[in-house]
Amino acid sequence: MRGEFDLIRQYFSRTAGESVSLGTGVVLGVADDCAIFSSHHQIATSKDLLVEGQHFFSDVDPFTLGHKALAVNLSDLAAMGASPIACLLGLALPRIDEQWLSAFSKGFYQLSDKYHCPLIGGDTTKSAHDIVISVTVFGEVSPPYLMRNKAKVGDIIWVSGALGAAHTALMLLFKSQEQALSPQESLLLVHTRQALECPEPRIMLGQSLKSLANAVIDISDGLLQDLGHIMEQSHVHAYLYEEKLPIAEALRSLPTTEVREAVLSGGDVYELCFTAPAKFSEDIGILAKHLGIPLTAIGEVVQVSKGEPTITVFDRFHHKVKMMKKGFDHFASSV
Amino acid sequence: MRGEFDLIRQYFSRTAGESVSLGTGVVLGVADDCAIFSSHHQIATSKDLLVEGQHFFSDVDPFTLGHKALAVNLSDLAAMGASPIACLLGLALPRIDEQWLSAFSKGFYQLSDKYHCPLIGGDTTKSAHDIVISVTVFGEVSPPYLMRNKAKVGDIIWVSGALGAAHTALMLLFKSQEQALSPQESLLLVHTRQALECPEPRIMLGQSLKSLANAVIDISDGLLQDLGHIMEQSHVHAYLYEEKLPIAEALRSLPTTEVREAVLSGGDVYELCFTAPAKFSEDIGILAKHLGIPLTAIGEVVQVSKGEPTITVFDRFHHKVKMMKKGFDHFASSV
């Protein structure tokens, strides 16, 4: 695998070699059969596969793709309140494109530097057709853990950032493959594309929520679907108030039904949704200011009653919103 | 991602839910944003991507594929002398085939049970064309680590098991796609196929080598290539004696050149190659008997002299064997 090794060496061996640390950290990087790291706490780990044509367009900017491949994994650490330790990267490529690799590795390393999450190992190989990116992240956590099954009746439901932009950008990119976008649509794409292609993992927020939240999840598949996991696993029910949902500024001019779909069901968001006791609402407001991240109360946790769905959404007239598809199913649809 | 979640639940959630352990072990399995595990030692980790058409044939028995996907990763832990803690599985599938998934998961779990390496999380997603399998393993290690860069002049070079069967099976499977195999070839395939499709990770051997070996690697890309990594990283040179190489029994009737290619350059072996001080040779013989694994002295480590290759192979007349391609390059050839 000379080709592979040269490739890895050239673009992904910045942390290669031995770097012994006495406390938490990387003991052995890219160079041996395994990488080695150490921690005085528990290890949280997650891995996500990104497949060309399913999770990203073939012509996506490789710099943002490198960023996003790591970001979606760091987002899982954020949802556990974990501090990043290190990551592994697996890359299957149908061909070697040095320009692509160079840009991809730059995007990856920029984010790994930002969150002190060094690349310590992995695997690069050939694929027959698709680019496949597999990242594994490790973070430190200590109990009590920020889990999905601890939401309590009476909790306020919060979401970070603004919703809907990533979904809108995705729809516009689909459309642009079929026909030319109008000037308004092109402008809307400019204003929403960053949210889709360069999501920011909410690492600091996740860590800060350890003393405040009962249950946390990151929104990868859509607010309704992901909040639904908290509700199902906690055996509770959510009331969401549509007029409270933080809508991305760029979407303000869109029709209500489009906005609703984007905000409630749009995936690829990587904001955190969490539930916290009402007594912490003021602290959460202070935290939002401190971190410079909007945190919005969007509903409350109520008792589940038999046969009810796990989430009820009310419009501004307090009428129940008819539920639409909950989120993006990779096996039901395809890019 | 309802489809995905149902899929994961059905076939890969045997360790789901919470299982708190006080010592080393799994704290939180498949159910949240991250899995959590703990260890009192350092963590060794490795990930390998297996891509359809590159690392396995599309029609391979899914049971053995499930076994092999984990085995090749456990083999990396073995080469570090690590004790398995847990693993993650990422699966990208072009379609849902329940029979395939059922068999794959059985093969995977059978090996994960055998080596106490529970599946604690991962990701299942759709791919456009190829099946891609990404496994990440975690193991416990403590210093001094079994690394590639510690081979010393005077060390004896050892290899476990027998060599060449996997390569021979691979060549026969290639050939069978073009033309019918002769009865002799079919019989040879029967006797070699297990080595290719169901390699046994040398976990116990790796752990036992901690007090004996200076440098260890697992043979995934071929003896010359992988031993070459030890030589390069240790800045030493290897003398290998062809008549000492342990050849798989089934290959005895093949022509010398074919055997030579299979044994020296054939990949997918997952035996351990290691160097150890000569004073430990008797202990290594005892270890081989104790574990029931053949361990064969195949050469020695000598000083590197300027301009020399990293390995010299001598035939039984003590003539230098002309070097052939060192191993399998995924970017230069394809299945």
- 3-state SS, chain B, equals CHHHHHHHHHHHCCCCCECCCCCCEEEECCCCCCEEEECCCEEEEEEEEEEECCCECCCCCHHHHHHHHHHHHHHHHHHCCCEEEEEEEEEEECCCCHHHHHHHHHHHHHHHHHCCCCEEEEEEEECCCCCEEEEEEEEEECCCCCCCCCCCCCCEEEEECCECHHHHHHHHHHHHHHCCCCHHHHHHHHHHHHHHHCCCCCHHHHHHHHHCCCEEEECCCCHHHHHHHHHHHHCCEEEEEHHHCCECHHHCCCCHHHHHHHHHHCCCCCCEEEEECHHHHHHHHHHHHHHCCCEEEEEEEECCCCCCCCEEEECCCCCECCCCCCCCCCCCCCC
A33 is in an annotated binding site: yes
CA dist B108 → A12, B9, B20, B212, B307 (Å): 30, 15, 23, 31, 45
Q: Which residue of A has its CA nearest to B90?
A: A49
- Report whether pLDDT(A335) > 80: no
CB contact (8 A) between residue B54 and residue A326: no
Look at residue B334 in the predicted model and tell me its pLDDT.
Answer: 32
Per DSSP, the residues of A134-169 read: EEEEEEEE-SSP-BSS---TTPEEEEES-BSHHHHH
Clarify whether residues B99 and B165 are in a common domain: no
pLDDT above 60 (res A1): no
pLDDT at site A14: 62
Q: What is the pLDDT of residue B37?
A: 83
Do A298 and A178 belong to one domain? yes
CB contact under 8 A, B51 and A128: yes
DSSP category for residue A98: H
Average pLDDT across chain A, whole number:
87
Residues in chain B: 335
Give the residue numbers spanning the domain of B96: 2-141
What is the average pLDDT across A178-202?
A: 96
Q: How far is B70 from chain A (nearest CA, A)?
A: 14
A122 vs B contacts (CB less than 8 Å): 47
**ipTM value:** 0.84
Would you say A148 is a known binding-site residue? yes
The answer to whether residue B111 sits within a structural domain is yes
Of B32, B77, B328, the CB nearest to A148: B32
Q: If residue A228 lies in a helix (H) or strand (E), which one and from where to where?
A: helix A223-234
Asked if B145 lies within 8 A of A46 by C-beta distance, the reply is: no
Segment holding A25, helix H or strand E: strand A25-28
Chain B residue with Cα closest to A46? B34
Neighboring chain A residues of B53 at a CB cutoff of 8 Å:
127-128
At A30, is the secondary structure helix, strand, or coil?
Answer: coil
Is residue B316 marked as binding?
no
Interface test with A, best of B4, B27, B49, B232 (most A CBs within 10 A): B49
Chain B residue with minimum CA distance to A44: B36
**In the prediction, which pLDDT does B202 show?**
97
Least CB–CB distance from A45: residue in B121, B218, B332: B121
Size of the A and B interface in Cβ pairs below 8 Å = 254
Pick among B33, B56, B145, B221 to test the A interface (most A CBs inside 10 A): B33
Residue B115 near residue B74, CB atoms below 8 Å: yes
Do residues B42 and B187 both lie within one domain?
no
Q: How close is the nearest chain B Cα to the Cα of A317, in Å? A: 31
Determine the residue of chain B that is closest to A329 in CA distance.
B1
User: How confident is residue A12, by pLDDT bands cut at 50, 70 and 90?
Assistant: confident
In the sheet that A295-302 helps form, which strands lie side by side, from edge to edge?
A: A215-218, A272-276, A156-160, A295-302, A237-241, A311-314
The C-alpha of B156 sits at a distance from chain A's nearest C-alpha, in angstroms, of: 20
Q: How many angstroms away from the CA of A106 is the closest CA of chain B?
A: 21
* Nearest beta carbon to residue A1 from set B27, B77, B328: B328
Predicted local confidence at residue A31, as pLDDT: 63
Both structure tokens of A227: 């909040």
Query: Residue B274: its pLDDT value, please?
Result: 97
Cα B94 to chain centroid distance, Å, stands at 26
Q: Residue A117 CA to chain centroid, in angstroms?
A: 16
pLDDT given at position B7: 61
pLDDT of residue B98: 87
Please determine, for residue A34, whether its predicted confidence score (pLDDT) is greater than 90.
no
Residues 6+ apart with CB under 8 A from B306: none
Residues in A closer than 8 angstroms to B43, CB to CB, are: 36-39, 43, 138
The answer to whether residue A10 sits within a structural domain is yes
Q: Cα B118–B119–B123 angle (5° rounding)?
A: 170
- A203 and A302 assigned to the same domain: yes
A287 Cα distance to chain centroid: 20
pLDDT digits (tens), chain B, 335 positions: 345 545 656 777 665 333 433 345 666 666 677 888 888 888 999 998 999 988 999 999 999 999 999 999 999 999 999 999 999 999 999 988 889 999 999 999 999 999 999 998 888 888 888 999 999 999 999 888 888 889 999 999 999 999 999 999 999 999 999 999 999 999 999 999 999 999 999 999 999 999 999 999 999 999 999 999 999 999 999 999 999 999 999 999 899 889 999 999 999 999 999 999 999 999 999 999 999 999 999 999 999 877 777 899 999 899 998 765 554 444 433 33
If we measure between CA atoms, which residue out of B45, B28, B135 comes closest to residue B88? B135
Name the least confident of A92-96, A113-117, B10-14, B62-66: B10-14
Residue of A nearest to B333 (CA): A126
Mark whether B160 and B134 lie in a shared domain: no
Which tens digits make up the pLDDT trace of A203-228?
999 999 999 999 999 999 999 999 99
Stretch A150-166: mean pLDDT, rounded? 96
Percent of chain A with pLDDT strictly greater than 90:
68
DSSP reduced 3-state for A67: helix
- Which chain B residue has the Cα nearest residue A216? B33
Contacts of A132 in chain B (CB under 8 A): 49, 51, 92, 127, 130, 132, 134
Measured between beta carbons, the chain A residues lying within 8 angstroms of B129 are 128-130
DSSP letter (8 states) at residue A250: G
Residue B328 falls within a domain, yes or no? Answer: no
List the single residue in B1, B33, B334 with the smallest CB-CB distance to A328. Answer: B1
In this structure, the answer to whether residues B222 and B306 fall within a common structural domain is yes
Domain annotation covers residue B325: no
Q: Is A132 helix (H, G, I), strand (E, B) or coil?
A: strand
User: Which chain A residue has its CA at the smallest distance from B50's CA?
Assistant: A125
Q: Are residues A6 and A133 in the same domain?
A: yes
At B169 the pLDDT is 96
Choice among A4-18, A140-154, B71-85 with the minimum mean pLDDT: A4-18
State the Cα torsion B57-B61-B67-B72 to the nearest 10°. -10
The one-letter amino acid code at B31 reads A
If you measure CA to CA, which chain A residue comes closest to B327? A1
CATH number, residue B80: 3.30.1330.10
Residue A292 lies in a domain: yes
Q: How far apart are CA A113 and CA A67, in angstroms?
A: 11
The two structure tokens encoding residue B206: 């790796």
Domain-embedded: residue B252: yes
* Residue A277 and residue A249 share a domain: yes
Domain boundary among A110, A141, A172: A141
Question: Which of A36, A147, A332 is facing B145, going by the closest CB pair?
Answer: A36
Domain boundary among A107, A141, A175: A141
Interchain CB distance below 8 Å, A33 and B218: yes
Bridging pattern class, strands A119-126 and A83-93: parallel
Residues A277 and A302 in one domain: yes
Do residues A218 and A48 make contact, with C-beta atoms less than 8 angstroms apart? no
Burial of B185 (0-12, 13-18, 19+ CB in 10 A): middle
Omega of the bond leading into A309 within 30 degrees of 0 (cis): no
A45-84 pLDDT per residue, tens: 999 899 998 899 999 999 999 999 999 999 999 999 999 9
Which two structure tokens, joined as six digits, stand for A40? 């005085």
Element (H, E) at A109: helix A98-114
Question: To which H or E segment does residue A238 belong?
Answer: strand A237-241
Which chain B positions have a beta carbon within 8 Å of A47's beta carbon?
47, 88, 90, 121-123, 134, 136
Question: Do A271 and A193 fall into the same domain?
Answer: yes
> Does the annotation place B33 within a ligand binding site?
yes
- What contacts B178, CB < 8 A, 6 or more positions away? none
Q: How many domains does chain A have?
A: 2
CATH number at residue A261: 3.90.650.10
**pLDDT recorded at residue B236:** 94
- Say which of A31, A34, A46 has its CB closest to residue B82: A34
Q: Which two tokens stand for residue B309?
A: 């290759």
User: Dmax of chain B from CA atoms?
Assistant: 66
**Domain identity same for A62 and A180:** no
Q: What is the pLDDT of residue A19?
A: 40
Q: Is B58 annotated as a binding residue?
A: no
Query: Distance from A183 to chain B by nearest Cα, in Å?
Result: 32
**Least Cα separation, residue B247 to chain A (angstroms):** 23
Contact B92 A39 (CB under 8 A): no
Final residue of a structural domain among B141, B174, B202? B141
Position B327 in a domain: no
Assess whether B11 and B126 both reside in one domain: yes
B148 is in an annotated binding site: yes
Q: Are B211 and B81 in contact (CB under 8 A)?
A: no
Task: Specify if A327 maps to a domain.
Answer: no
